[in-house]
Chain A
């Protein structure tokens, strides 16, 4: 779909309104991000328009600016006008009427990207849920506008405004039920992974921070990693062994600024991978200016807050090869108050991975360590084989008995002790 779009070169004009007194650098960053989002959705951005003023109730921008926008539409003939700011239904209608071009806002654009890339049943449901939750508060207004269009008694139903909203609500409930079932399956899968002794590590971070590249390098995998926003929409899990401990690493969808709550709710089953992990690797792109990294870290902290359980966080300063060592150290020091357990890596060059793995190992849930002795028999040897499977055997001495130095989670230790007690 996307390549088709590119080949057909869909065009878009991006628009942003700033409140007076807005930081210019931040505003520039936001418009650049909107441009990248539009490109990720397959649009060719032909022009940009910004205005600094408080929002207009009718057009969001000033009336004159909308007329200027209409002229730009006439000149460039874009397929869509994309606003950075959230628009209400009346504003979308009014702007579309004057400009004669389809108008969407940033959230609809994100939904469009998600819809384009949704491949599994679960992700399709999530996109549909997010779309419906976006549509629900606008449903009544949409019908009112349709009725205004000289269509009294639309569909022949007097209470159509309400029934349409009710229909959306019913569809939302149906999808939520279905997603809840999937979520339960995932929870039990996660519980099973825990009971099998795996620790769960999740990659989190702002979109395009390099999570997938890091994931590929860490677990020697080949998931799609591109220099584009929202390349990953579905979590992928692979196992990794660190000093004998098996961990499951999950690559997840990235965060973005102003992600509304309804969208977080819709993608909850995806985001749960982050919120219910034992360790979160918070990935940041250290090649960017410090202030940008700070802004993105703030978004990550805000998104993770509320949902995050008691987990350890390791901040991974990715793309460290693009900076001098002293620059990198300065950046890490400056952002110390926002970056727990910082470690610098280059996912592309493969540097810093030993440090990262040591940090992960140190943060893993603690295992107990005991000394055991087993009879030198066939049964004893089979228990030893089981211990090798379930934990880390640090030392084995074969004498009259088998002496073992063993480390494992509490459940396995208790089981091993009860088995050994049967021999004596």
Chain B
């Protein structure tokens, strides 16, 4: 089993002249093809007037991941980091980082995606924006 932190950000598009984003980080133990155990989930919201660039995305990810009690390699989809080469992104992160590879990691990112999407929908509803 491998300890990872799967991260996904929802809302990277303009809504009412601003960007309302929700980042979800799922700490889990995964095997090559499955999620064995979910340890903890952290959710943070972020607002911005301008579109996020790579450093903004990395800041959001690191802020959310800092709330977790469990460690592990941060895993995201390549698209979340604007398809930049992994070595470039890895050198900016404080923690170990990689793009998704195995089916287990992909399943975990899918879980993070559902969490961030649902949390953002709830947030927009609360803010009366939906």
Contact = CB atoms under 8 A, between A and B. Distances in A.
Nearest to A342: B32
A98 to B, nearest CB: 32
B76 to A, nearest CB: 15
B33 interface: yes
A424 to B, nearest CB: 44
Nearest to A311: B33
Contacts of B2: 337
A263 B101 CA distance: 22
A40 interface: no
Interface string B95-110: 0000001111010000
B106 A340 contact: no
B31 A340 contact: yes
B85 interface: yes
A333 to B, nearest CB: 13
Nearest to B4: A337
A298 B85 contact: no
A301 B85 CA distance: 19
A54 to B, nearest CB: 15
B102 to A, nearest CB: 5
A315 B2 CA distance: 17
Nearest to B33: A340
A21 interface: yes
Interface in A285-313: 298, 301, 304-305, 308, 313
B101 A338 contact: yes
Contacts of B102: 301, 337-338
Contact of B106 (A21, A301, A315, A336): A301
A339 interface: yes
Contacts of A315: 32
Contacts of B103: 301, 304-305, 308, 313, 340
Nearest to B2: A337
A338 B32 CA distance: 5
Contacts of A305: 103, 106
A298 B32 contact: no
Contacts of A304: 103
Contact of B85 (A21, A308, A338, A340): A21
Interface string B1-41: 01000000000000000000000000000011110000000
Nearest to A314: B33
Contacts of B101: 298, 301, 337-338
Interface string A168-195: 0000000000000000000000000000
Interface string B101-129: 11110100000000000000000000000
A313 B106 contact: no
B32 A339 contact: yes
A340 B36 CA distance: 12
A338 B55 CA distance: 29
B73 to A, nearest CB: 10
A336 B32 contact: yes
Interface string B68-104: 0000000000000000010000000000000001111
A129 to B, nearest CB: 28
Interface of B: 2, 31-34, 85, 101-104, 106
23 contacts: A298-B101, A301-B101, A301-B102, A301-B103, A301-B106, A304-B103, A305-B103, A305-B106, A308-B103, A313-B32, A313-B33, A315-B32, A336-B32, A337-B32, A337-B101, A338-B32, A338-B101, A338-B102, A339-B32, A340-B31, A340-B32, A340-B33, A340-B103
Given A298-B101, A338-B32, 7 more contacts: A21-B85, A301-B101, A301-B106, A313-B32, A313-B103, A336-B32, A340-B34
Chain A to chain B: the 10 pairs with minimum beta-carbon distance, closest first: A340-B32, A340-B33, A313-B33, A338-B102, A305-B106, A337-B2, A301-B103, A338-B32, A339-B32, A301-B102
